[in-house]
Structure 1
Amino acid sequence: MNFFKKLFSAKSEKNQNETDQETPFKEIVSTEYFDERYDEDFIKPEMLEGCLKMIEGFAVANKLDRKVESPINHPLNLDQAVEDGFGFELYCKALNLGKTDSAMMLAYAFSDFLIKRYGFKLFHDKKPEYPLRGMTLKYDREGMLLSLYPFEYAVKVLNYEARFEDLVIRLESNLKSLPEVDDVLKQFLNPNKG
């Protein structure tokens, strides 16, 4: 069985009065359900190379010094591409690329960073809950899965509603507190026992 913990889709922040005794996951699904719904995906090397060249080209065109020298797709560099200079979206527009294209480039670049840094895997969701969630990243720790939606998040970043670095900070905090599968099962099966 797989256990999903969707950490980054909820808009409400945890109230100080809430306890950690609450169920920290969204759903329990069978392996069959997971395999039917998700196909593992990979970022094509030439696609990633193009995305990274666009981000690098933006920095050069704006005469920006990278926030982090390497990798180019570090979250601080991606945030810089959106926030500094004339903005990555406008840069893409000047090259006859739309907002969807600029969001996809940022999503691929950010996904590659998370895959290499934390061991996420990229999946295509055949039945996404929301339109922008067809592209999903999963982090698996012995059956406990964290889900991220890089395209949806990139759109939020382009709309100045979020930052890539903030997501990484939340991710690192949540990875440290990810519960064990046995503890989640016990809590799920016996919700009234502490």
Structure 2
Amino acid sequence: MRAKHHNGKPDRRMRGFETAGGLLRTRIREVGEARGFAVSRLLTHWAEVVGQDLAAQTRPVKIGYSKGGLGATLTLLTTGPAAPMVQMQLPQIREKVNACYGYNAISRISLTQTAPTGFAEGQAQFTPAPKPAPKAPDPKILRAAERTTEGCANAELKSALETLARNVLTRSAERAAQKKG
């Protein structure tokens, strides 16, 4: 629910990216509900729900409800080689998913196996995207790190101290930028 001023416009804090996020959240919810996912968090935060190791080997595909309506079946996609290990962890996965829902929504989990590549459209990706390469340090930080080690005669020690100073200064600059933004 958005806070509104007397003129009917959203509160200033509720504009901009939060509005765009709200639009995206609605689309994700619609797509998720079409596939049986009443809680879209299960799709968007799968790694947080089950952990990085399991998320690298599985993907939630759909949730099917029985005619009686008591308990649903979560279908997970995994690769053939990972299936036996995932099968052994199904009780823990069910507990974690039900904790996401807040009640025992999932009574059963079914595994579907596939190759990690193939099926031209919508290939199954089980490994997370590679981390981006670290960006080059700020030249100001490099100069400051060099200044802190000017009097050091030992080349190895000087190099290690410069690296330490560069890391400390970079983290300090990142924290200051986060506080501003």
The answer to whether the superposition gives a TM-score over 0.5 is no
Larger Rg: 2
The structure whose RCO (Cα within 8 Å, separation 6+) is larger is 1
TM-score, normalized by length of structure 1?
0.19
